[in-house]
Amino acid sequence: MKINPKQIKAFGGALPRVLAEKSFLASLLLILLALVLGGILYYQYDFLISKNEPQPNEVSLKLQQKAYLSVLAEWQSRQVKFESADFKNWPDPFSASGLTE
């Protein structure tokens, strides 16, 4: 059995007319199709995910003592620099330009 393109074109042209003549049945069919697709999506993306929740692996945190001490020393040196910058008396950059009175 060979598929004839003219038959497909005739069927595609008659389909809107048939759907318009049987609009109540067509709307029920489309509503049913939407409910079925919604149920499939709900099952796939909500129900299956909550049913098969992945268990997290327990990973212990191991610190390298040498790296930790170097980071701690750098952090303390930056803290000292930050605290010493607070006591400096910085000149006003706008006073000489005439922007302020």
Task: Kindly state whether residue 57 falls inside one of the protein's structural domains.
Answer: no
What is the pLDDT at residue 88?
64
Task: Kindly state whether residue 42 falls inside one of the protein's structural domains.
Answer: yes
Task: Kindly state whether residue 62 falls inside one of the protein's structural domains.
Answer: no
- pLDDT, one tens digit per residue, over 36-48 is 999 998 888 887 7
Task: Kindly state whether residue 27 falls inside one of the protein's structural domains.
Answer: yes
- pLDDT, one tens digit per residue, over 47-95 is 777 766 667 777 777 778 999 999 999 999 999 988 877 666 767 777 7
Domain count, the chain: 1
Task: Kindly state whether residue 97 falls inside one of the protein's structural domains.
Answer: no
Task: Kindly state whether residue 32 falls inside one of the protein's structural domains.
Answer: yes
Task: Kindly state whether residue 101 falls inside one of the protein's structural domains.
Answer: no
Q: Supply the range of the domain harboring residue 45.
A: 5-51
- pLDDT, one tens digit per residue, over 2-36 is 788 888 888 888 888 888 899 999 999 999 999 99
Task: Kindly state whether residue 60 falls inside one of the protein's structural domains.
Answer: no
Structure token digits, residue 19: 């759907």
